[in-house]
Structure 1
Amino acid sequence: MNHHTMSHRRPVRIGHLAAFTALALAVAACTVGTGNDNPDTTPDDDADTTAVEEGEATGAGGTVQVVTHDSFHVSEDLISQFESDSGYTLSFSAPGDGGALVNQLILTKDAPLGDVAYGIDNSFASRGIAENVFSPYTSAALPPAAEDYLIDGGNELTPIDVGDVCLNIDTAWYAEAGIAEPSDLADLTGPDYADHVVVTNPATSSPGLAFLLATVAEFGDGWTQYWQDLADNGLLVVDSWSTAYSEEFSGSVGQGPRPVALSYSTSPAFEVGPDGEDPTTTAMLASCFRQVEYAGVLAGADNPEGAEAFIDFLLSDAVQADIPGQMYMYPVNHDLELPQEWTQWAPLAEEPLTVDPAEIDENRQDWIQAWTDIVIG
């Protein structure tokens, strides 16, 4: 990430605490790891205890310093269970969002901040790898489907979760206004959608950067003209996700004036009514940029064995099932059952927009500067 400060990725929206709690409980109910009391599932004891058994064999113990982005959350009971089973004690620090995290890891690579890092996404992964921040590690717990997310097929970073940054649409607003909902990015430059869109600044917001990358992927060399057309059509730019979604967007708690806001494909699942009413928002799946978050053992770690055990822990069934309700992301293990609300209202895009991580690393700063010149002036 550049040296701009990024916003929190997805703060919990207080107005949706009930829906969030219900979804978290539903995720916990389908956990297939240790402690699952669902009679219809059988825990994989060998998979869940491998790291613990290996730790015992090598005299595991001591503190594992975990460096994360500031939206990291795993249920406390899972943390406690890991510490009890493994003999390690986890200590957490969070220097900022995913971009700030990578910056700090690079600046301190000769005296690393910890043993293991979580939260580096594909917008910044190549930069960390190029700076030799991480030590190679291949976890035996990595599910086969996750191998598609490895950076250039390497093992410096382990994929943990995935999600899509997408424009969200207030379907009720469009129905009441008698205007057809926009179906793709190009629609939003038309006169029917003047003053409809709010996005976040890619220099100050992780979703904002992801959406900028989505337009690069969609329009190629024409991405700058697309942003000029959006700006001419009444685009609103704000600094943080919470301002865009919770204040300016008409479809969420703020009931703002704009019916199209940048958020996540998972957001509609948190707009389900208190009595189970269908949400009146949807994600524009044609606008989605696929975000992958990684963990890695830090080069020069004091406790590399503990770092590896923590990565195995993040890939365990229990933690993977915990991720949707805690961090609004999809587990990298696609075989786990998800809550109905999640599968119905929070789909991943079938054909997400992507940019090669190496290309992102080479052009990120220039793209942000070009965007700033066009949109901010």
Structure 2
Amino acid sequence: MKRRTFVGALGGGTALGLAGCLTRDGDDSDDGDGNGTDGDDGRLTVVTYESMIDGDDPAGPWLKEAFEEEHPDAELEWTQLPDQGITHYVERANAGRSIDADVYLGLNVDDLVTADDGLDGGDGDAGGAGGLFRELDRGAVERADRVRDELEMGDPHGRVLPYDTGYICIVYDETEVDEPETLEGLTEPAYEDALLAQNAQTSAPGQAFLLWTIDAFGEDGFLEYWRELKDNGARVLEDWSESYYGAYMEEERPMVVSYSTDQVYASAEGYDMSRHRVAFPNDQGYANPEGMAIFEDASNVDLAYDFFDFVLSSEAQAEIAQRNVQFPAVGEEHVDLDEEFDEHAHVPPEPVTLGYDDLRGNLEGWVDDWAREFVGR
């Protein structure tokens, strides 16, 4: 599961995402088809979040080794995203500065909206020249048709190709509280001082949970719902690690906003499974697909497409799912997962998500309105 903390461009949008070290000299040329020209050195620079490339057996090192074995003339170079997230790239683009990366791995729809809303002169037509990312030629990715339709992000310019997804849910201790059947139920006395949530400004699951409540209660009702949560003692912490590894695992509270693959992690670590029950209030969970995109002025576009196709291969999809504890983006007929993953990873009966059109022009305002009232600025 993507155990990551964001600041600013949530992967969930605004400042939570990923960002990289950037400084490219010279101009990129075009091959006549708008696809750019591959660099001379065969290097593909991929920006991604920390837990993809560092930590306990992450997917990134495996992806690098396997991709380079399949493409002997290529070198995959990881760049870790800085704290500022997608906003870092937007600021560089607005300043006319180059971006020293080809691919962004880990982009979600919130990040994309944050980029499009933040680019100077943004008018809703963010594709093509002047956008941060280029429109993809899906015909150049043989396995693109494996991606499940429900994971598509609704980008009108077709710039993102999903490679995995997670579902935000409630994880709870069944020895302390009953399973919450509805979101409304979380405001009832039975769950007083029980729930841990995350800051929607700085945490991917925190922002996803906020968007889930907006979907459920509407633009005019979500703040009132959060007031009721607050009155019932819900506690908002800065990020997922602080709320899960800290307060929840220290048994300070019996409920936490987390991921529906939590039991995969808990089983592997030998934890008491009664404290790692997965709840889908209203039979829902918030879907948060992650995708890959190519920067507008990437120097190795053809190699980027090769990488995308490789990431959607059956072997790579299984490794990403099991090492990152996320769900594959491809249909089940294209990937084999171990029995423990199949047993402990849960999909909500009704996945919900807000797409590009819902978020465009609204995301920043929603998060700001929520933050002013519930975390202060």
Structure 1 residues 376 and 107 mapped into 2: Cα distance closer, same or farther (>3 Å)?
closer
The aligned amino acid for 2:75 is: T
Q: Any conservation in 2 of the 1:60–1:305 contact (CA below 8 Å)? A: no
Q: Which residue of 2 is the match for residue 230 of structure 1?
A: 229
Listed as ranges, the gaps of 5+ residues in structure 1 are: 9-57, 175-179
Q: Distance in 2 between matches of 1:314 and 1:245?
A: 29
Kindly report the root-mean-square deviation, in angstroms, between the aligned alpha carbons of the 2 structures.
Answer: 2.6
Q: Any conservation in 1 of the 2:114–2:364 contact (CA below 8 Å)? A: no
Deviation at 1:147, TM superposition (A): 3.7
Deviation at 1:240, TM superposition (A): 1.4
Structure 1 residues 197 and 300 mapped into 2: Cα distance closer, same or farther (>3 Å)?
same
Q: Which residue of 2 is the match for residue 37 of structure 1?
A: none
Q: Which residue of 1 is the match for residue 311 of structure 2?
A: 314
1:206 is matched with which residue: 166, 184, 204?
204
Q: Secondary structure at the match of 1:159?
A: strand
- Residues 1:192 and 2:172 are matched in the alignment: no
Q: Which string of whole-angstrom CA distances, capped at 9 and with x for unpartnered residues, describes residues 290-309 of structure 1? A: 00111011111111111111
Deviation at 1:148, TM superposition (A): 3.6
Q: Distance in 1 between matches of 2:270 and 2:297?
A: 52
Q: Any conservation in 2 of the 1:285–1:352 contact (CA below 8 Å)? A: no
Listed as ranges, the gaps of 5+ residues in structure 2 are: 1-6, 19-37, 54-58, 117-125
Structure 1 residues 121 and 375 mapped into 2: Cα distance closer, same or farther (>3 Å)?
same
Structure 1 residues 84 and 263 mapped into 2: Cα distance closer, same or farther (>3 Å)?
same
Q: Distance in 2 between matches of 1:275 and 1:199?
A: 24
1:170 is matched with which residue: 164, 173, 176?
173
Query: What is the identity percentage for the equivalent residue pairs of Structure 1 and Structure 2?
Result: 26
Deviation at 1:133, TM superposition (A): 1.4
Deviation at 1:269, TM superposition (A): 1.9
Q: Distance in 2 between matches of 1:274 and 1:163?
A: 20
Q: Which residue of 1 is the match for residue 112 of structure 2?
A: 125
- Residues 1:64 and 2:61 are matched in the alignment: no
1:1-377 alignment runs, 5 A limit: 2=8, 6=16, 62-73=42-53, 74=59, 76-86=61-71, 87-96=73-82, 100-109=84-93, 110=96, 111-128=98-115, 130=126, 132-137=131-136, 138=138, 139-150=141-152, 151-152=154-155, 154-174=157-177, 180-220=178-218, 221-249=220-248, 252=249, 254=250, 256-272=251-267, 278-286=273-281, 288-335=285-332, 336-377=335-376
Q: Any conservation in 2 of the 1:66–1:93 contact (CA below 8 Å)? A: yes
Q: Which string of whole-angstrom CA distances, capped at 9 and with x for unpartnered residues, describes residues 261-294 of structure 1? A: 0110111222227679755422222352100111
Output the TM-score relative to the length of structure 1.
Answer: 0.77
Q: Distance in 2 between matches of 1:273 and 1:113?
A: 38
Q: Secondary structure at the match of 1:112?
A: coil
Q: Which string of whole-angstrom CA distances, capped at 9 and with x for unpartnered residues, describes residues 42-81 of structure 1? A: xxxxxxxxxxxxxxxx999611111112232425344223
Structure 1 residues 157 and 126 mapped into 2: Cα distance closer, same or farther (>3 Å)?
same
Q: Distance in 1 between matches of 2:370 and 2:165?
A: 26
Q: Secondary structure at the match of 2:47?
A: strand
Q: Any conservation in 1 of the 2:52–2:60 contact (CA below 8 Å)? A: no
Structure 1 residues 5 and 154 mapped into 2: Cα distance closer, same or farther (>3 Å)?
closer
Deviation at 1:370, TM superposition (A): 1.6
Structure 1 residues 82 and 274 mapped into 2: Cα distance closer, same or farther (>3 Å)?
closer
Q: Which string of whole-angstrom CA distances, capped at 9 and with x for unpartnered residues, describes residues 124-168 of structure 1? A: 223446361112221221134434433346431111111111121
Q: Secondary structure at the match of 1:208?
A: helix
Q: Which residue of 1 is the match for residue 32 of structure 2?
A: none
Aligned residues: 317
Deviation at 1:85, TM superposition (A): 2.4
Q: Distance in 2 between matches of 1:242 and 1:81?
A: 30
Q: Distance in 2 between matches of 1:241 and 1:367?
A: 20
Q: Distance in 1 between matches of 2:289 and 2:133?
A: 17
Structure 1 residues 156 and 59 mapped into 2: Cα distance closer, same or farther (>3 Å)?
closer
Q: Any conservation in 2 of the 1:273–1:279 contact (CA below 8 Å)? A: no
